[in-house]
Amino acid sequence: MPTRIAYEGKVEYLQILDEHGVLDEKLAKDTLSDEDVVELYRYMVKCRFVDETAFKLQRAKRMGTYPQNKGQEAAAIGSGFAAKRGVDWLVPCYRENAALWMHGQPMHQVFMYWMGDERGSKIPEGVCTLPLCVPIGTQMLHATGMAWAFKMRKEPRVAITYFGDGATSEGDFHEAMNFASAFQVPCVFFCQNNQWAISVPREQQMNSATVAQKALAYDMPCIQVDGNDLFAVYKASRDAIERARSGGGPAFIEAVTYRLADHTTADDARRYRDSEEVDAWMGKDPLIRLRKYLTGKGLWDDAKQAAADEAGRQTASDVVKAAEGAGVPPVTDMFDYTFETMTPEMETQRRTMRTHSLGQRPEQAGLRESAK
């Protein structure tokens, strides 16, 4: 009996704007207009200033551990711009601030989150984003479940979930991918392959040539894109989102990018990363690339850059004031926003602000009357 090929697959790579700011006009057709690119670049500059300010706050001990988004702005902004605000849901990990803000989540909430204030996770009504997710990979299951609900309700919505290359080694990733594929739910899996899972390089994290090819096991459309190329990220995301919205099922996007900063402010990447590698990727910075393109087209100049920088500094200042000026949350919040209906025991705890019986009923020790 002769053998036959049971399955063959391939992963395409997409780049439209290279690191020198040169655009492939043919591939760029019907993607981003000049006006779009100018506004998205301004927004990218603003997000970089806010991100750098968060880093300084941590160093000044005004914020807890913070994971910088520096270098990965094009991946977040390109995909976020492709999704429909107020319709599609963004399910992040912790390096997609730019996409969350683009969809209406207040910037200062992210600062509050890393300051240890739970109100940073209280998403405003009508904003279709989930809170930041630090546990690796768990959010992908949430996105898949949400997408399944969209399908059952016949709602034209899509869930986009973000994660890093290291998260694809988690069991949650494979469970989410298998479920999404089996039930053909409208979910887009967006991997920010920034080359490092904390201190573990991608080459040691997995033996596959690409991250995207993992989707082939689930018969899921997949593509690898230059994650620092705003045009490529937007096009791949738009195509995947609209295919999912029209009933085409889930898709997988691998955005090849780089973490220009440390994993978090609690990390020192100099202990495990080659400085030459970092310098090489610095030259591929999405902000530098986009500015080269805009300048070459006569759409940008030094005066516009100065104005964008000033707007970024002002935004960062406003965000800090809003986060630090939020005041201390009431202790009763832990009761009021945990359960819809409190038990009698919880009512007593809320009233007395005590969990032990002596604090709740001091008369049993003959100390004083029962707390009112």
Phi, psi of 259 (to 5 degrees): -85, 100
Identify whether 263 is a catalytic site residue.
yes
Query: How many residues are listed for the chain in this entry?
Result: 372
Q: How far apart are CA 138 and CA 120, in angstroms?
A: 19
Identify whether 259 is a catalytic site residue.
yes
What string of DSSP letters covers 87-122?
A: TSEEE--SS-HHHHHHTT--HHHHHHHHTT-GGGG-
Q: Which of 103, 108, 238, 259 is catalytic?
A: 259
Q: How far apart are CA 51 and CA 316, in angstroms?
A: 8
Q: Coil, strand or helix: which one is 247?
A: coil
Q: Which of 13, 272, 337, 351 is catalytic?
A: 272
Q: What is the b/e burial string over 21-36, where b = at least 16 CB atoms within 10 angstroms of the residue's CB? A: bebeeeebeebbeeee
Q: Which of 263, 289, 291, 293 is catalytic?
A: 263
Kind and range of the H or E element at 197? strand 196-197
Q: How far apart are CA 214 and CA 208, in angstroms?
A: 8
- Per DSSP bridges, beta strands 159-164 and 89-91 are parallel
| CB 47 within 8 Å of CB 73 | yes
Identify whether 293 is a catalytic site residue.
no
Catalytic residue annotation: 259, 263, 272
